[in-house]
Amino acid sequence: MLLHKFENPRLIGVQIHEESYKEIVIYNIKKIFMENYIDVVTMCVLQIYGWINYPNSNFWGTPAGCFSQISTFIHLILMIAFPLFGSVKIWMNHETLGEPETMERYGVFYDEIQRKTRS
């Protein structure tokens, strides 16, 4: 009787189960980063502006300041590397951009751009 009680949720879980959960999570992380790229660039520029104009300030004095500096360094690296990675992947897979497998792996980089020309 107890197993019969939980039969419907289990069937729903079987129907919506994804085999490649890790790939879906990685794709969604890339998509979130791409959607927030302008915000990340703006915050990095403001932080670098603070470093340049206030060199004697103690940016590392508090845990929040340390977190801010470390996250700025990470975002600065991602701000440069992520578009380069996307551009290389688009360029290398230009002939197969419309295929479902390529769109599933790299579609986050070119969802809303024209795919007919190479330039």
> pLDDT tens across 7-54, in order?
677 677 666 666 667 777 777 887 887 788 888 888 888 888 888 888
Question: Does residue 61 carry a pLDDT above 80?
Answer: yes
Q: Domain-by-domain residue ranges, the chain?
A: 23-110
What is residue 115's predicted lDDT score, i.e. its pLDDT? 54
DSSP 29-41: HHHHHHHTHHHHH
In degrees, to the nearest 5, what angle opens at C-alpha 26 toward C-alphas 110 and 107? 15
Q: In the block, which residue shows the tokens 């069937």?
A: 11
Q: Which two tokens mark 41?
A: 């660039």
At position 89, the amino acid (one-letter code) is K
Question: Are 59 and 71 in contact, with CB atoms under 8 Å apart?
Answer: no
Number of helices (H) and strands (E), helices first, in the chain? 6, 0
The pTM assigned to this predicted structure is 0.56
> Using CA atoms, how far apart are residues 46 and 30, in angstroms rounded to an integer?
23
Question: Are 43 and 75 in contact, with CB atoms under 8 Å apart?
Answer: yes
Residue 118 — pLDDT band, cuts 50, 70, 90? low
What is residue 1's predicted lDDT score, i.e. its pLDDT? 47
What is residue 18's predicted lDDT score, i.e. its pLDDT? 62
Q: Which of 102, 85, 101 is nearest to 93 (CA)?
A: 102
Question: Does residue 5 carry a pLDDT above 70?
Answer: no
